[in-house]
Structure 1
Amino acid sequence: MIKFVRIDHRLLHGQVLFSWTKSQNIARIIVIDDEAATDDLKKMTMKLSKPADIKLSVFTIEQARERITKINGVSENTMVIFGNVATAAAITPLLSDVKAVNYGGIPKRPDTQKFSNFIFLTAPEVEQSRALKEAGLDLYMQQVPTSHRESLTALL
């Protein structure tokens, strides 16, 4: 079952690998990111950095679409991580029983609006986030499970 969905440009890193996987009792991580899925070095680095007891799959958007029935049918507690808002907006509506999306890290770039110290969205990302909100998803900003949870839904 998909237990946790996160957008984080860093994909797999310490906060994800240690804090979120433990707090959510995650057994499988699915990364959906075109750049990571087509970069053998990035894929190898992610596989080497994950705990040995957690399964990892890395897909492009198209591969995720092709496997959506399998992704929705996983029996283990699963975390889905997107590298950007556009990918999350394309795939999250296809995921079964997902109620919320965690915005974990989206860096400051030209023409971005600040929503928190670690979430900066461009105008298209704001619109994509609004579409997720309108689909009934709760959008929130939270770095680690023990930090304060801030509503992004309320700010859109």
Structure 2
Amino acid sequence: MGMDIRLARIDDRLIHGQVATAWSKLTGINRIIVVSDEVANDQLRKFLLKEAAPPGIKSNVVTVAKMLEVAHNTLFNTQKVMLLFTNPQDVVTLVKGGIPIRSVNIGGMSFSMGKRMITNFVSVNDQDLDALLYLQAQGIEVEIRKVPADRKIYLKDILEKEGSHS
């Protein structure tokens, strides 16, 4: 059976007010797992993220390899999980490793050098885009929403619009 993944979300802010309240209520989760090598190796960030989880929701911060290792552990059979990522490449690694992710929500990917904005809160570089397109090609829904009340914006629609303007 394995864990019940209720939400896979890419948001470089990870656990913050919106995630903690709106998404956890909507999805009925009881555990948040941050999957990030960078964060798992940063003790301060790891501690702060664990403190940020809403009451009654357990949180863990693990490396990508650790997530692949524990994903099918029977200990997780009763867990309703939100997976949080800082980038789409880590999602691809889990999908290729056999973790059943059906939909990916993008909540925010901040702008930095070498990235281009595709919405006012999502910026991607070529590697991000390749990873997102890979997920889409696997039949995984890739949608963009900060909070559940927002209208779903599908990545494919944004890319089609962009393509028609080039």
TM-score under structure 2 normalisation?
0.86
AA aligned to 2:67 is A
Structure with the greater alpha carbon radius of gyration? 2
**Equivalent residue in structure 1 for 2:154, among 115, 136, 151:** 151
Displacement of 1:154 in angstroms is: 3.0
Q: Which residue pairs with 1:124 in the alignment? A: 127
Displacement of 1:73 in angstroms is: 4.6
Query: Number of matched residues?
Result: 155
Please identify runs of 4+ aligned residues in structure 1 that moved more than 6 A: none
Unpaired stretches in structure 2, ≥5 consecutive residues: 160-166
Displacement of 1:72 in angstroms is: 9.7
Residue 112 in 1 paired to residue 115 in 2? yes
Tell me, yes or no, if the aligned pair for 2:36 and 2:86 is still in contact at 8 Å. Answer: yes
Q: Which residue pairs with 2:50 in the alignment? A: 47
Displacement of 1:50 in angstroms is: 1.1
TM-score under structure 1 normalisation?
0.92
Tell me how far apart the structure 2 counterparts of residues 4 and 101 of structure 1 sit (CA, whole Å).
7
Which deviates more, 134-143 or 103-112? Answer: 103-112
Residue 85 in 1 paired to residue 83 in 2? no
Unpaired stretches in structure 1, ≥5 consecutive residues: none
Identical columns (%): 29
Tell me how far apart the structure 1 counterparts of residues 99 and 104 of structure 2 sit (CA, whole Å).
11
